[in-house]
Amino acid sequence: MNVLIADDDPTIRLTLSSLLSSTGCDLMEAANGEDALAIIDSENSPELILLDWNMPGLSGVEVTRRLRAGSQENRPYIIIVSSYHEPLQIIEALDAGADDFITKPIDGRFLKAKYNVAERILTAQNKLNQANKVLERLAYFDELTGVMNRRAGMVSVEIELERCLRSRDVLAVAMLDIDFFKRVNDSLGHIAGDEVLHEFATKIHAELRPYDVICRYGGEEFFIAASMKHEAECERLFERLRLAIENMVFNNYPELKITTSIGVFIDKPVEQEDVKSLVEKADKALYKAKESGRNKVIIERKSDNSPPVV
């Protein structure tokens, strides 16, 4: 654990460092509040800070107030160190945002007990932060495939649609799934099916540009939204995806071959449109791709009375 000791008295700094040396922590020192803030803002920021109340320039309490006023993802644990011992002064330090208070002269056993409390709280805090990150990712991404989930994908499509309205770009939305996926589950089992879904999503994601939208819509169905300058680019993109899936190799199942059917709707939006309507149009094109024999790309266009592109 990184520990910062901020005190203008070098003797106090030496005493605190000696008392904490047996804990195995990495110690840093500052002689005033300004230097303490500089260390706190560095890459090697401390997790535990021992701040002397009375220092030249910024006091320990003022440093604490500044730290707590900012938004910090990894909030440091702050212990104010002071010769003050009146309840009102301790309350002032805690109200400023300090986590604990210790009075001078410093009892080594008492300091180590405070250190152990801080370590337990910081460990629990780190575990909570990690759990929150996992929950945040699960809120936006599909756990199995790693791509966005349906809800996050639809929000991203709305943003992409608005961007196309401003740029006058073409927007291609596509629904695709794995042909005869049920056969994979039936013949190889659901673990194999999960691996196929993961590899399928990984391959599609690798073929797309970083800013294209891909989400798992449900089951073996995936949804893509990609903006282009010209419609011909859309045709090339989805044919490339189809071929990439057709040529996939599964290391654990070398005999397995899969294909995908892709239904595409190409739109050049001139006004805000309903994302649900775009999804339905792509889904209808997917149905036609399956009806025409699978392993095909069917492209339909807005107000297009000509036969679909196969």
- Token couple for 137: 């990712």
Does the annotation count 158 as an active-site position?
no
- Bridge partners (DSSP) of residue 3 are 27, 48
Residue 9 three-state SS: coil
Residues in the chain: 310
Fill in the DSSP letter of residue 22. G
**Cβ atoms within 10 Å, residue 162:** 12
- Token couple for 50: 């021992």
- Bridge partners (DSSP) of residue 27 are 3
- Token couple for 128: 């909570």
Instruction: Give 56: exposed, middle or buried? Use CB within 10 Å, 0-12, 13-18, 19+.
Output: exposed
- Alpha-helical runs (H) found in the chain: 10-20, 33-40, 60-69, 87-96, 108-140, 150-167, 181-188, 190-207, 231-246, 275-291
Tokens 């629904």 belong to residue: 175
- Token couple for 94: 């805690």
Phi, psi values for residue 106, rounded to 5°:
-90, 125
Q: From the candidates 220, 239, 271, 291, give the one annotated as an active-site residue.
A: 220
Residue 23 three-state SS: helix
Number of H-type helices and E-type strands within the chain: 10, 10
CA distance 161 to 151: 16
Instruction: Return the closest-CA partner of residue 302 out of 163, 173, 140.
Output: 173
So which residues are the catalytic ones?
Answer: 220
